[in-house]
Amino acid sequence: MKFAVPLALSLLTSSVMATSLDIYDASRERNIPITVDFPVQKDLCTTSNKCKVAFVSAGYKVPYLKYQLMVQNLNEMGYLTVAVDHELPNDPPLSKKGDLYQTRIENWKRGAETLDFLQSNISPRYPEYDFQNILLVGHSNGGDISAWLASENKSYINKIITLDHRRVALPKTVKVQVLSIRATEYPTVASALLTEKEQSKYHSCIVEIENSKHMDLTDYGSEKIMNKVRLITKGFLSGESCTKLKQQA
């Protein structure tokens, strides 16, 4: 996929701050590849003034590092980002038959366990960052994983952003603020989203970007759509109203 030169240079600049690690979960005998990107102004992050943290989960079969536009946006907003590779060679393939909600639960549970393990395991490595108020970000199946974990009443989850996830219900609580950015290419199970009334009640927001494709919400997509995603995400994390976020679409 070819990007415009300014965009490519921007991503290259961001990647200089990245650190790739394999984190071993002994209880599951599982190596977890992650890539950590630091805030642009990382010198402002201290143990007494901790910076924010976001976990980024990829869609199924999408390389987990193909969300650099989202990562860079978060880094510019002061977030430490942890991109997580949920797909290991020995994992069973994501089910494509039967009742997909039921047959994919094992995948979502495994992914949620991975994120939960990382929250407790890597926080001591980065004492200048707040792992007690995490933002979960996930595209497609990664959004389903994030929504699954966000519904488990973990005290450390502060916000969640899903990018066109399609099956797992978003949390319905004022304790976790929700933004779900929707593409219009494929249908979504209605129960996975929040009604207008629920959005108001839980201070959350569902934003649909017209004429957008599922993969537009990755680095493979159109720059025009991702610029909209960037503005919507920035507005959400800055506390803008749902009405204003929808105007950005």
pLDDT of residue 207: 98
Say yes or no to pLDDT of 104 above 80: yes
pLDDT of residue 17: 73
> Which H helix or E strand runs over 208?
strand 205-208
d(CA 112, CA 11): 28
For each of the domains in the chain, give its residue range(s) and CATH number, in order of start: 53-70+89-124+131-248 (3.40.50.1820)
CB neighbour list of residue 27: distance below 8 Å, 6 or more residues apart: 117
Apex 154 CA angle, 92 and 101, nearest 5: 35
Residue 110: band (very low, low, confident or very high) from pLDDT cuts 50, 70, 90: very high
What does the DSSP assignment read for 28-78?
Answer: TTEEEEEEEE--TTGGG--SSSPEEEEEEEPPTTS-TT--HHHHHHHHHTT
Residue 6: band (very low, low, confident or very high) from pLDDT cuts 50, 70, 90: very low
pLDDT of residue 221: 93
pLDDT tens per residue across span 133-192: 999 999 999 999 999 999 999 999 999 999 999 999 999 999 999 999 999 999 999 899
pLDDT tens per residue across span 56-74: 999 999 999 999 999 999 9
Please give the mean pLDDT across all residues of the chain. 93
* 3-state SS record for 161-202: EEECCCCCCCCCCCCCEEEEEECCCCCCCHHHCCCHHHHHHC
Say yes or no to pLDDT of 9 above 90: no
